[in-house]
């Protein structure tokens, strides 16, 4: 199965999540792969996506805290 991979920059956790979702969907549709190998790769990609999700949440919270500190300091 040959799929074109979109060229894109990966600058933040959201980009990583999108890429992992795309690749997982491509793998799920590929019936030529060994089911056990496919499951392993999907699990690995899923863990990467989950980590990116957590990192994205942490980044948002950090930005909120920085904003509150700046407001408190009068800046």
pLDDT digits (tens, 9 = 90+) for 38-56: 999 999 999 988 988 898 8
Q: What is the pLDDT of residue 4?
A: 54
State the pTM of this model: 0.68
HSE value, Cβ hemisphere, 13 Å, CA-based, for 17: 11
73, pLDDT greater than 70: yes
Task: Look at phi and psi of residue 74 and say left if phi exceeds 0, alpha if psi is from -120 to 50, else beta.
Answer: left
Q: What is the pLDDT of residue 2?
A: 47
HSE value, Cβ hemisphere, 13 Å, CA-based, for 39: 3
Structure tokens at 46: 């899923």
What share of residues in the chain are helix, strand, coil (percent, to 5)? 75, 0, 25
């Amino acid at each position: 199965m040959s799929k074109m991979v979109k060229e894109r920059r990966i600058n933040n956790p959201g980009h990583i999540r999108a890429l992992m979702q795309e690749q997982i969907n491509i793998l799920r549709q590929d019936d030529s792969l060994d089911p056990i190998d496919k499951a392993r790769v999907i699990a690995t990609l899923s863990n990467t996506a989950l980590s990116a999700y957590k990192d994205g949440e942490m980044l948002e919270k950090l930005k909120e805290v920085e904003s509150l500190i700046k407001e408190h300091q009068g800046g």
